[in-house]
Amino acid sequence: MSLSSPSIRHKFLAIDEGLVQLLHIDEQNPSLDWIVPIGHPQARDMQLIGDGKVLIGHHHGWSEFEIATGKVLFEFTGYEGVTAVRRQPNGHTIIAGVDIAGVTGVVILELDETLKEIHRAIYPGDYVRLIRQTEQGTFLMSCNDRIREGDRSGNYLNEYPVEGFYHAWKSLRLPNGNLIVSAGYGAFMVELDPAGQIVRKFGGKEDVAEEVNPFFYAMFQLLANGHLVLANWQGHGEGFGSSGVQLLEFDAAGKIVWSWSDSSRISSLQGVLVLDGLDLSCLHDERNGVMSAV
């Protein structure tokens, strides 16, 4: 059974958490494909930071890779327990994690261009994965069984618990004010209205072919055409390359229109970033939902 339209071909980056490696795949020109070791455990975040570079956030901080070649251009390893890293338009870097920098709780630090800490916000809690900034200047934080929204002063403004969330991974605010969230081990995608009520839910076991094997829905990206590309992570370590279909693209109706897996090259993909149509010379962010230059 084909899960892909032959008319869809992507160029993308992917984090293989199982093998601790970074992939560049170009379906139009496979001669440009490469795979390199990340060199640090628990690589979880990924962002285009301009000048042809991608930032990979990991347990110790972050590394910056040249997209054309996979060459490591810079590394910062000043912390332990980092789960999210976001470069800012002013050149500063925001990092997040639990109990980092000798502080108890969910911590968000801002570092300037010299890597000096210039701001910190501390929130109650013992779990966070990816964070994303909103157009309103707040942080959307994935906190296990709920999404929390916090301000820069360490206050939670809203929280959005959903039945079935377990290690929820990522959330974005859409232009209409709704949130879109990947449910982690819940293995579904969900859109929530501003009150936290479910508007739509898709991608779960009941909605997709058995071969997809929804296990852990992790990083996702909204495309300009309204589609959503998602990493369907399959497990820690080696040996998961034949388990499930690990990259999925859903159209606006929740139907799978593209997929990618290659057991000869991967174990378990946790992050994906589609490069089609993006200007790699620019910093990109998702404050308006869709990935765009800032």
**Domain boundaries of the chain, sorted by first residue:** 11-293
Q: What is the pLDDT of residue 5?
A: 73
Q: What is the pLDDT of residue 1?
A: 41
Q: What is the pLDDT of residue 6?
A: 74
* Mean pLDDT per 10-residue segment, the chain (294 residues): 76 98 97 98 98 98 98 97 98 98 96 97 97 97 98 97 98 96 98 97 96 98 97 98 97 96 97 98 97 95
Q: How far are the Cα atoms of 5, 101, 136, 169, 228 from residue 184, in angstroms, in the given order?
A: 26, 26, 25, 5, 16
Q: What is the pLDDT of residue 200?
A: 96
Pick the CATH number of 11-293 from 2.80.10.50, 2.130.10.10, 2.120.10.30, 1.10.260.40: 2.120.10.30
Q: What is the pLDDT of residue 139?
A: 98
Q: Are 145 and 166 in contact (CB under 8 A)?
A: yes
Q: What is the pLDDT of residue 7?
A: 87
Q: What is the pLDDT of residue 84?
A: 98
This prediction's pTM: 0.96
